[in-house]
A and B are shown apart, each in its own frame.
Chain A
C-alpha cells in the first residue's frame, strides 16, 4: 500500500531515523516503528518530554534510553549504578559517530544470555523466537547467544538441544537449514551457578571474546524460578554487565505473590538495575491482537466515539485452557489462576483497552496512561469474585483427573483453577461499566478473547422484530486473541428474503483469510523490543504496584478465610457461579451464548 510504509525487518531504510535514533547498535529492525524512535529520544530528556527538536544533543548523551525517564516516572528514585555513568560517557562518542557520519565500522554487538537455558520456556519459546528473529534478519549483524545454566554441557550439546526446537516460518522455508547452521554457530553455552559471581565473571570473559572489542550490549533473559531472580541479577550486573554498551534484563512472571513481595522484589532488583534496565515481560502484551487493540481504537474514527460508558455496556476478558496442570501443578498451586492470569495478562489487556488516549505512542506515554487507569480502579471485592477448581470427570470412557489428583498438588489444596471477577473503573469514561474477567484451566475450550458488548439501541424501531430478549440484539465487538485470530463486529442485519426478519451477522476480519503470513510468536516481538529498548510492552514498576493493589486484598481474604472454590468438571464450561456473577451486573457472558 502506497500510503503505509512497510518497515519489515530489512536493513537500511530510513536513515533519517537512524540519525534520530539512539540505538545505533541495531543494524536492522530499529526502524520498524517510526514512533519507536521517539521514546528513545525522549528518554534522554530528563527534564522534559516535549522537546523533540534537540534530538542531536540527546543522541550524544543517550544510550538506547539508558537514562531514566524521570519526568513522569515516580518510580525513578533508584540510585544510579556506577557502570551506567561510565557507559554513558564512553558511549557518547560512539553514538555521535553514527549520527554524524553513518559510520558503521564500529557496529555494536548484542549478546543475549538466556539464564536457565535448559528450562522449558527457553527451549520452547526463547531460542525459537531468537532464531525466527535471525531468520527474518531482525537481529543485529553481530550477535551472540549464550545459554547459562547449572548443567554441564558443551557448546555442541547445547546446539543440539536448541536445534531440536527450531522451526522455520511456514511462509518461506528456503535456506532454512543454512540459516539454522549460521544461527547455531552463534550459540554458546556456559555452565555456572546462578548465584556465583565467579561463574558470571567467567561468562563475562567469554562474552568479551565474542564481542571482539565492539561496543557491547548485553541482554539477560532470566528464565529461572523467582527465588533466584535476585541472585542472578546481582551476579550478572556486578560481574557480567557491559562496560561500554547497555545491559538489560528480561524478567518473567511471577513478579511476587502480592503487593509486598512484589515491592520487595522490585526493591531488590533496583538495587542492581535501573528502572529502564528491567524488562518485565507479559507475553500477552506481545500478542498480535493485543497489539492491534490500540491500532483499532486510535486509528479508526468509527471506534473511538463508541469507547465509553455511553455506548459500552460491559467488557469481557476471557481466557480459557482446555487442559489442567497435568503433573506440573507445583508452581501453579502456589499462585493460583488469579495471580497466574487475571492479575497480569487480563489486567494488562484491560488497562490497554480502557486507558485514555496517550500523548504519543511512546512507551512512557502509554504506560503512564495504563497506570492512571489501573489507579482509577477499585480493588476487587470478594463478592465480585467467583473461584472454582476442576474436579475429575469421565467422558467417553476417558477419565480426566481433578486438580488435586495432580501429584504435585497438595491433597487439600483450595487453589483456584478458575476465577471470574467484576472490576470497575471509577473515572468519567467508565463509571458503572462492568469489566468482567474470566480465566480457567481444564475448560471445554481453549481461547483468549476480548468482548465488548454495546448497549441497547435506545428507542429501537425494530424492537418488535427482535423479540423479547434485547440482550441478544446488541452489538458486540469481539477481538479473538487466540486461537484463530480475528476481529468481528456482531451486527443486526436483515435476513435476505421477503418480510423483515433480523438476525446477528458478523462483520468479520478473519486473520487467516486476510493475512497469509504467519503471525509471529509474542516472544519474538518482545525480545526484539527489549533489544531495541522499546519498553511499550513491558511492565513498569509502578504499573506492577498498581496491578497488585487491585488484587492483593482479595487474595489475602480468599486465603485467610480459606474460601472453598466451586468445583466444576474437567472439560466443562466452568462453575455456574460465573453466570450469577455476570447476572448481578446484568451481563451475559458472550462466549457461552452461542
Chain B
C-alpha cells in the first residue's frame, strides 16, 4: 500500500514514520535520509523542544532542565536551531553531513548475566540487527560482576538468539556478524573505577565517531542508583547522548518511588530516563490508539454514554516456581496492576492527545491518572494460590515455594474496581484482574457496551440482557486478536439471535509474526522516542492511586482469599464485579 511505510526498511517512505513520530536522527544510517527530508516538519514542533517545555510545566518532580550531568546538552538550544536533542559539539556537523556514518551507538547491558538479559535483551538486539534496524555502527557491551571473556559472553548470548521465522536465510552469517560486535566487561556495580575502564573500552570501539550510549539496567533495584551514578560520572558520552533504560520495580510505593526518581535525577535529566513497561511495547497495546483514533466507528462509542465497563485481565498459568523471593516483596498489585494494567487503562481512557508525540500522549495519560480516585479497599479482592492436586499431579501452594516465607500474605491474585472522575468516564467501572497460577494464560482488554435502549429484539434475548450486549475484545496475548461481539441472526428460518464475532485474528491476517515488545522498546530508546516509556509524573500519579491501599493491606494484614493452583481464581472477584453490575467477560 502506497500510504504505508515500513520504518525498518531503508526505503524512502520511512520518512513518513519519522514525520509522524519525529524520531531523532543520528541513530542509524537508515534514519539519515529521512531526517533530512524531515526538516520541513520541524516547525510542527520538535519533540525534544516541546517535551522540554512541557516537562517544565507538568513534571511533578520539577527538576531543572539541565540536570548536572546531562550530556544531552539540551538546555541551551533555542527553538530555531536544528532540533537535535542529542547533538553535542559535533551535532551540527553530523546533521549537515547526514550521508556519512559518523555516529555510533553503544548499548551496555548492565547485569548481562541475568535472566532478562539472556532471554529478552540480547535476542531483541539481535532481532533488530537482523532486521537492519540498528545503526550501521554499533557496539554491545555486557557488564556484570562475573568474570567472563568476550568469547564466553558470545557463547552465552548465541544460545538464546533465534532468527525470525519468516526469513531464516543468512541467519548464522548475521549471527556471527552480530556477535563480533558484542563484548564483555566485568566490574562491580558500585565501582566508578570499573566504569572508567568500561568507558575506555567503549571509546576504543567508538573511535572517530560521535558516540551515543545506552545503558540498560537489568539489575536489582537496590543497586539502580549506584550504577547510574558510576555510569553517568565515568562512562557517559562526552558529546553524544547517554540514556538509561530502567526496569521495574520503580519503588514499592509513592515515597520509595519518589525517592528513586529523586536519586536518578541527581545524575540524569528526565529525558535520559527510559522507564520501561514492556506491556506498552505489545502490539495490541500499541494498536489501541490506532483503533481509537483512526477509526470513525469507535471514537463516538468511547465514553460513558455507550461503554458500561472496561476489563483489564492478566493471567498466568504458573506460580512463582521457586523464584518467589523478589515477588514476595512486591505482590501482584505492584507487579502487574500498578504498572502494566494501569498503563493500558490510561492509554485506553485518555482524551485525544494534541499529537502522537511522546509528550502529548504522556500528558494525556497523566491527566487521566490524576482524574482517578485512589483505589479503595472495598474495591479490591486479594487472593493467594494454595496447593492443588489434579489428575494425580499435585501443584504447590504459594507458600510451599522455599523462597517464600511460610506465613506470607502477599497476594498472587488481585481484582480491583477503579473509577475515573471526568466527564467521559464518570461512573464507568474499570475492572482489573491479575493472577498467577490460574487456569489460563493471557492478557486482554474487554470493553462491554451498554444495553440497547428500547431493544426491539429483547424478546429474543430472554431475561438476561447482560449477555446480549456488545463487547470489544483486544487479546494482547497469546494469539493476538481483535474481535467485536455482535448480536446476529442465526441463519435459518425463524428469528433466533446469537452472539457472533466480527473477528480479526492476527495470525491469519498478518502471517509475518509480531516482534517482541523489547525490540520495539529498545529501538525506541535508541531513537529517543519516549512515547512508550513512563515519565516521572506518570509514575507518581500511578503510585498515588495504589499506595494508600497497599499500606492498608499490609498494616491490617488482610488475609488473601486462597484459591487452588490452576483454578479460575477466588470467587471474591465475581462478587466485586457484581457490586458494580459487571460480569467478567473471560469466565
Q: Kindly provide the distance from the CB of A585 to the nearest chain B CB, expressed in whole angstroms.
A: 19
- Interface window among A191-199, A439-447, A519-527: A519-527
Q: Assess whether B294 is in contact with A473, with CB atoms less than 8 Å apart.
A: yes
- Expressed in whole angstroms, the Cα–Cα distance for A455 and B457 within the complex equals 28
Encoded as 1 (CB less than 8 Å from any B CB) or 0, chain A from 490 to 513 comes to: 011111111111110111110100
Check if B238 is an interface residue, CB within 8 A of chain A.
no
Segment from A73-81, A87-95, A462-470 that makes contact with B:
A462-470
Do A462 and B294 contact each other (CB < 8 Å), given the known contacts A35-B459, A299-B468, A305-B306? yes
Q: Which residue of A lies closest to B298 (CB)?
A: A491
Q: For the complex of A and B, list the 3 residue pairs with the smallest distance between their C-beta atoms, beginning with the closest.
A: A467-B3, A499-B7, A32-B494
Q: Which A residue sits closest to B19, measured CB to CB? A: A464
Q: Is A399 an interface residue (CB 8 A)?
A: no
Chain A interface extent, by class: 35 or more
- A427 located at the interface, meaning its Cβ lies under 8 Å from any Cβ of chain B in the complex: no
B548 interface contact, C-beta 8 A:
no
B492 near A517 with CB under 8 A, answer yes
B552 contacts the other chain (Cβ, under 8 Å)?
no
B21 within 8 A of A: yes
In the complex, whether A360 has a CB less than 8 A from a CB of chain B is yes
Residue among B19, B451, B461 facing the most chain A CB atoms (10 A cut-off): B461
Residues of A close to B296: CB separation below 8 A: 306, 311, 454-457, 474-475
Whether the pair B488, A32 counts as a contact (CB closer than 8 A) is no
Do B294 and A502 have beta carbons less than 8 Å apart? yes
Give the Cβ gap from A253 to chain B, nearest Cβ, in Å: 22
A75 to chain B, nearest CB (A): 24
When C-beta atoms are compared, the residue in chain B nearest to A492 turns out to be B294
Interface-facing stretch out of A4-12, A221-229, A234-242? A4-12
**B295→A491 contact, CB < 8 A:** yes
Chain A, residues 23-50, CB within 8 Å of chain B (1/0): the string is 0000001001111100000000000000
B232 to nearest A CB, angstroms? 28
List, in ascending order, chain B residues with CB within 8 A of A473's CB: 3, 294
Binds B, one of A179-187, A290-298, A338-346, A566-574: A290-298
Ordered by A's residue number, 19 sampled pairs between the chains whose C-beta atoms are within 8 Å are A1-B498, A34-B459, A299-B460, A299-B461, A301-B301, A301-B469, A311-B300, A465-B3, A475-B295, A493-B482, A496-B283, A496-B480, A498-B128, A498-B131, A502-B4, A506-B509, A509-B503, A511-B491, A524-B493
B456 and A299 contact, CB distance less than 8 A: yes
Contact present for B2 and A520 (CB under 8 Å): no
A4 touching B456, Cβ below 8 Å = no
Q: Which of A2, A9, A288, A360 contacts B489 (CB 8 A)?
A: A288
Residues of A within 8 Å of B459, CB to CB, are 34-35
**B460-473 interface code vs A (CB 8 A; 1 in, 0 out):** 11111001111010
Say whether B294 contacts A466, CB under 8 Å: yes
Give complex CA distance A355, B509 in Å.
35
Bound complex: CA of A503 vs CA of B514, how far in Å? 15
CA distance A197 to B486 in the complex (A): 53
B499 touches A1 (CB 8 A): yes
Q: Is the CB of B294 within 8 A of A461?
A: yes
Chain B residue with the shortest CB-CB distance to A293:
B489
Closest A residue to B14 using CB positions: A499
Question: Cβ of A301 and Cβ of B451 under 8 Å apart?
Answer: yes
Please state if A520 and B484 are interface contacts (CB–CB under 8 Å).
no
Flag whether B523 is at the interface (Cβ < 8 A). Answer: yes
Cβ-based interface call for B323 (8 A): no
Contacts of B297 in A (CB 8 A): 302, 306, 311, 454, 475, 477, 489, 491
CA distance A166 to B429 in the complex (A): 56
**Judging by beta carbons under 8 Å apart, are A34 and B456 in contact?**
no
- B500: Cβ under 8 A from any A Cβ: yes
Residues of the A chain whose Cβ atoms lie less than 8 Å from the Cβ of B523: 498
- A507 lies within 8 A of B484 (CB): yes
On whether A2 and B462 interact (CB within 8 A), knowing A35-B495, A496-B514, the answer reads yes
Evaluate whether A7 and B494 lie within 8 angstroms (CB atoms) in the complex, with A461-B356, A497-B8 already known: yes
Is there an interface contact between B17 and A500, defined as CB atoms closer than 8 Å? yes
Provide the bound-state CA to CA distance between A9 and B496, in Å: 11
Smallest beta-carbon distance B362→chain A, Å: 15
Q: A232 CB to closest chain B CB, in angstroms?
A: 28
A54 at the interface (CB under 8 A from B): no
Rounded to whole angstroms, the CA-CA distance of A464 and B472 in the bound complex is: 26
B430 shortest CB reach to chain A, Å: 19
Cβ-neighbour of B484 out of A2, A3, A302, A457 (below 8 A): A302
Question: Which residue, A358, A468, A501, has most C-beta atoms of chain B within 10 A?
Answer: A501
Contacts of B131 in A (CB 8 A): 498
Contact A291/B489 with A360-B456, A456-B296 known, Cβ cut-off 8 Å: yes
Asked if A357 contacts B3 (CB within 8 A), the reply is no
Q: Cα distance A489–B472 when bound, in Å?
A: 13
Complex interface residues of chain B between 493 and 514 (CB less than 8 A to chain A)? 493-504, 506, 509-510, 512-514
What's the Cα separation between A303 and B493 when bound, in Å? 24
> Is B515 interfacial (CB 8 A cutoff)?
yes
The A-contacting residues of B in range 1-51, CB under 8 angstroms, are 1-8, 16-17, 19-21
Which of B4, B455, B460, B513 is close to A4, meaning CB atoms less than 8 Å apart? B460
- Nearest B residue (CB) for A6: B496
A528: interface (CB < 8 Å) = yes
Residues of B contacting A291 with CB < 8 Å? 489, 495
Q: How many angstroms between the C-alpha atoms of A92 and B122 in the bound complex?
A: 85
Of B468, B495, B520, most A-chain CB atoms within 10 Å: B495
Closest to A8 in B: B494
| A6, A357, A456 pick with most chain B CB within 10 angstroms | A6
A514-538 residues with Cβ-Cβ distance < 8 A to B are 514-515, 517, 519-520, 524-525, 528
- When distances are taken between beta carbons in the complex, the residues of chain A under 8 Å from B16 are 464-465, 467
Question: Is A300 in contact with chain B by the CB < 8 A criterion?
Answer: yes
Interchain CB contact under 8 A, B487 and A494: no
Partner of B487, one of A295, A358, A491: A295
A 354-381 binary contact with B (CB < 8 Å = 1; else 0): 0001101100000000000000000000
CB distance from A353 to the nearest CB of B (A): 15
State A464–B90 Cα separation when bound (angstroms).
31
Contacts of A1 in B (CB 8 A): 467, 498-499
Residue among A298, A301, A514 making CB contact with B449, cutoff 8 Å: A301
Question: In the complex, are the beta carbons of A519 and B8 less than 8 A apart?
Answer: no
The interface residues of chain A lying within 8 Å CB-to-CB of B7 are 498-501
> When the two chains form their complex, are residues B491 and A517 in contact, meaning their CB atoms are under 8 A apart?
yes
Min CB–CB distance B306 → chain A (angstroms): 6
Residues on B with C-beta less than 8 A from A465 are: 3-5, 16-17, 20, 294
In chain B, positions 437-477 with a C-beta closer than 8 Å to chain A are 449-452, 454-457, 459-464, 467-470, 472
Is residue B580 contacting chain A, with contact meaning CB distance below 8 A? no
CA distance A106 to B52 in the complex (A): 88
Determine the distance from Cα of A358 to Cα of B293 in the docked complex, in whole angstroms: 33
User: Is A552 an interface residue when CB atoms closer than 8 A count as contact?
Assistant: no
Contact partner, B294, options A35, A457, A499, Cβ 8 Å: A457
Specify which chain A residues have a CB less than 8 angstroms from the CB of B115 in the assembled complex: none
Contact of B498 with A462 in the complex, beta carbons under 8 Å:
no
- In the complex, what residue of chain A is closest to B531 when comparing beta carbons? A500
Contact check, B4 vs A304: say whether CB atoms are below 8 A apart.
no
B5→A501 contact, CB < 8 A: yes
Interface flag for A414 (CB, 8 Å): no
Interface residues of B in 174-188 (CB under 8 A from A): none
Stretch at the interface among B155-163, B284-292, B386-394, B411-419: B284-292
In the complex, A487 has a CB within 8 A of chain B:
yes
- Chain A residues contacting B300 (CB-CB under 8 Å) are 305-306, 311
Select the residue from B294, B480, B486, B510 with max chain A CB neighbours within 10 A. Answer: B294
Distance between Cα atoms of A304 and B453 in the complex (Å): 10
B489:A462 contact, CB within 8 angstroms: no
A525: nearest chain-B partner, CB-CB: B493
User: Given the complex of chains A and B, what is the CA–CA distance between A470 and B16 in angstroms?
Assistant: 15
- B110 CB within 8 Å of chain A: no
Give the distance to chain A from B44, nearest Cβ to Cβ, in Å. Answer: 10
A456 / chain B contacts, CB cutoff of 8 Å: 296
A138 in the interface (beta carbon within 8 A): yes
In the complex, are the beta carbons of B496 and A501 less than 8 A apart?
no
| Distance of A330 Cα from B68 Cα, bound (Å) | 92
